[in-house]
A = this chain, B = another copy of it.
Amino acid sequence: MGSFEVTILGASGGPDGGATQCFMVRPMGCRGLRSICVDGGAGFGEISQILARSKDSCKSELLESFYANDFEPAGQFFDDKASISVGFPQCMIGSLEHALEKQNTFTKAMEIYMGVKEYYITHAHLDHIGAMVLNSPLACDANNEDGKLIYALPFTLQAIEKHIFNDVIWPDLLHCGSNRLKLSRLTDGIPHVCTVFPQWDIIPFKVHHGFSASIVDKRVYSTVYLFSDRTTKQALLVCGDLEPDSASDGEPLLEKAWEYIAKRVTRGNLRGIIIECSSSASTPKHELYGHMSPAYLVGQLSRLREMYGDPNALAGLNVLVTHVKTIISEKDPRLVILQELREAALQERLDVRFSMAVQGYTFSF
């Protein structure tokens, strides 16, 4: 029995501009509609679409692909042993139907959106915050008594406050008097007790995300979040964009996250890692722009295993891959990367289970 249910509202790595990163995270089997989201690249619109197309069956579903076929069977994108369901978790839909049986899709979607009480933002790049911003007038609605909190490390909060909610790019809903949308600062490496789900500690780690495009040697950072359930002792790592420390000769940052996990999370209690792999193995390193490749990702998983000091430390670990970039390709690059990851892991004798994070599915960890 796992601890975490993650519904993928968006997982695209752009640049097509589809639903980008937003993962709704809840304790397994939790009743009611309360949730938190890691990143806000998707939101209310995607909730509506997922509700409208949700069906009972799972792997027989067809997914939007637009490569070899416009739609591909979903099963190809998932590990056979991964625990996956279509749409929102059943316990959530149950809460919804009880209250709102006759309501239309947008009304139901609004209930689910209003249930998102906290965002944990990895970094302020537009594909990780866009929908959160566009949806924000709803958060300031008079009916939303609780409001919403935006958590992040200081560098991310500063960017959001200065460049987004500034009455130029978007109405300044942080300082408009409604008091329903607030920023809240986290500290690198320090556990934060989640208000929505108090059994969770959420620990942010600053990580590298390449360099500035226009200023030489100016580094860009992102954040990974470790969710740690104090009751079950189980943990889930949720990443945004990132690269290995070594990719840019950076100070050890991701290394510290691995150290923390290997030290604090007992082998087997690490239930899953949600992590990006933007580009395929054929992409030159200088075109990764602060992102992961299959070699980098398998390398980092090997590094974590090494820190556990046990060749079987990650056996059976579910690794959910996100943020694959849209490119010109005959085959869906998500399927290309999945195959490359599995092959690279086999070579490293790394017995993990790779699945692709696909919008509209719930993964149990």
Contacts and interface: CB of A to CB of B under 8 A. Distances in A.
Interface stretch (A162-170, A182-190, A266-274, A316-324): A162-170
Contact count band on A: 35 or more
Residue of A43, A127, A135, A169 contacting most chain B CB atoms (<10 Å)? A169
Given A16-B48, A126-B169, A66 B218 contact: no
Contact of A126 (B68, B133, B213, B326): B133
A33 interface: no
A344 interface: no
Contact of A328 (B107, B125, B166, B176): B107
B70 A105 contact: yes
A326 B14 CA distance: 25
A134 B17 contact: yes
A303 interface: no
Interface string A50-76: 001000000000001011101000000
A193 to B, nearest CB: 29
Which A-B residue pairs are the 10 nearest by beta carbons? A171-B213, A172-B214, A17-B134, A167-B212, A66-B105, A176-B213, A17-B45, A175-B214, A18-B45, A163-B163
Interface of A: 12, 14-18, 20, 42-46, 48-49, 52, 64, 66-68, 70, 104-107, 109-110, 124-127, 130-131, 133-138, 159, 162-164, 166-177, 212-215, 218, 220, 289, 326, 328-330
